[in-house]
A and B are shown apart, each in its own frame.
Chain A
Amino acid sequence: MTCSSAQVLIEAYLDGELGPGQSAEVREHLENCASCTEVYRRLKQLQTDIRAQAPYYQAPDHLRERVRAALHNASERDAVRTRALPWNWMAIAASILLVLSLAWSLALLRSRSSTRDLVAQAILSSHVRSLIGTHLLDVPSSDQHTVKPWFNGKLDFSPNVKDFAAQGFRLLGGRIEYVENRPIAALVYQRRQHVINLFTWPTSSADESGKLELNRNGYHLLHWTKGGMTYWAVSDLNEGELEQFARLYNQ
Chain B
Amino acid sequence: MAYGFISSLYGGVEIGTCDIITSTRLITYGRVGGNLMGNADFAAAVADIRTRDVYEMGANDSFPNLCWRFNTMNRGGTTVLYGYFDGYTQYGSSYRQVMSGVPVFVSGQTTGTSWAHVGVYNATIRTNPGSTPRNALVILWSYDMPVEGAYITTSWTVSVSSATSLDSWLLAYPTSFGVIPEDPYAPGGISEPGGGDGDFDFSSTDIPIPALPTTGAYDTGFLTLYAPSANGLKALAQYMWSGTFDPTALRRLVAEPMDVIMGLSIIPTITGHPATTPATLMVGNISTGVFMEQLTEQYYELDCGTVTIPPKWGAYLDYAPYSKLSLYLPYIGYVNISPDDCMRGEIKVVYHVDMLSGTCTAYVYCKSNRGTDGHTLYTYNGSVACPCPVTSGQYGSLITGALNIAGAAAGIATGNPMSIATGLGSIAKTAIDAVKPEVQRSGQTGGTAGLMGIQYPYLILTVPRLCTPADQDKLVGYPSYVTVDISDCTGYTEIEVSHLEGMSCTENEALEIIGLLKEGVVF
Q: Do A and B bind each other?
A: no
